[in-house]
Structure 1
Amino acid sequence: MTERIPFTRSSRDGPAFRTVHHPAIPRPRPSAENLLRVQRIRWNEDLLVVAAAGEIDLATAGRLEQALRGHLPAATVLDLSEVGFLGVAGLRVIESAAARARTERRTTSVVADSRPVLRLLQLFGTETQIPVYRRLDHAILEVPNQ
């Protein structure tokens, strides 16, 4: 926002003006609920789809972690196709859930198609530990039959 203030010195054409810049007033950050939506969809008795939409970062990773807690079926597909940003905190939640699934003899897979999400999964080598698919229907077809 700019404000014009008359300069104290005058010229023959009238008072001179200068522009004063005020620092922008910081806006409050949206709540975690507004930054990330997480939905648990029970596909069948052996498959749970956890769909996330928004940004997964340090502020919102807890919401994803909460959705991946408790008693889970034989297979879990984490659908990140609507996620525009995945931070390291979110990646740690995904890796932790997959490690827990392995110890409990369950499967976990990820669906992602946005460049920022795929890039982070690739940089940390997560796609070598957890199957990553570009489409949800492909992930569901690959779920082992129990």
Structure 2
Amino acid sequence: MPDQQDTLVVRRQRPAPGIAIVTAVGEIDLLTAPRLHRALARVREPTILLDLTGVTFLAAAGLTVLVAANAEALSAGRRFGVVGAAGMARRTLEVSGVAELVPSYASMAEADAG
């Protein structure tokens, strides 16, 4: 049986000055959410975009990370947004109400315009 930590891969890139894109691929649940939280907490760029295009499962622990990341960014004068959530991840954001709290964009192009 694979290690539960292997169900989420988190990568960070800086495509332009002042912008960080954190990409999550896999499942964000109680066991993997702390990894995402740590990755987001290390980002210091003024704009932080979390790419959820590759997320297949988003549990309550993941929602907590998103709400906290948004609150931390706002209190530090930064911009945080979620990009590309689809399928179950998108539905979880909408049903939970988190989509109303955390800026969400369908694509990176939309996030750049936002």
TM-score scaled to structure 1, two decimals?
Answer: 0.73
How many Å separate the matches in 2 of 1:51 and 1:70? 14
> CA shift at 1:129, angstroms?
1.7
SS of the aligned residue for 2:30 comes to coil
Q: Does 1:108 align with 2:58?
A: no
Task: After superposing the two structures, state which structure 1 stretch, 74-83 or 115-124, moved more.
Answer: 115-124
How many Å separate the matches in 2 of 1:131 and 1:31? 29
SS of the aligned residue for 2:3 comes to coil
Q: Aligned pairs, how many?
A: 114
Structure 1 segment 1-146 matched on structure 2, within 5 A: 28-32=1-5, 34-142=6-114
Please say if residues 61 and 90 of structure 1, whose CA atoms lie closer than 8 Å, have aligned partners that are also in contact: yes
Q: Which has the higher strand share?
A: 1
> CA shift at 1:63, angstroms?
1.0
**Rg bigger for which structure?**
1
Matched residue type, 1:91: L
- Identify the structure with bigger relative contact order (alpha carbons < 8 Å, sequence gap 6+): 2
* Sequence identity percentage: 34
Structure 1: state its 5+ residue gaps.
1-27
**CA deviation digits over 1:43-92, x for unaligned, max 9?**
22211000010000011101101111135111100000100100000110
Please say if residues 77 and 140 of structure 1, whose CA atoms lie closer than 8 Å, have aligned partners that are also in contact: no
Structure 2: state its 5+ residue gaps.
none
How many Å separate the matches in 2 of 1:46 and 1:71? 10
TM-score scaled to structure 2, two decimals?
Answer: 0.92
RMSD between aligned alpha carbons? Answer: 1.4
How many Å separate the matches in 1 of 2:50 and 2:43? 15
> CA shift at 1:30, angstroms?
2.8
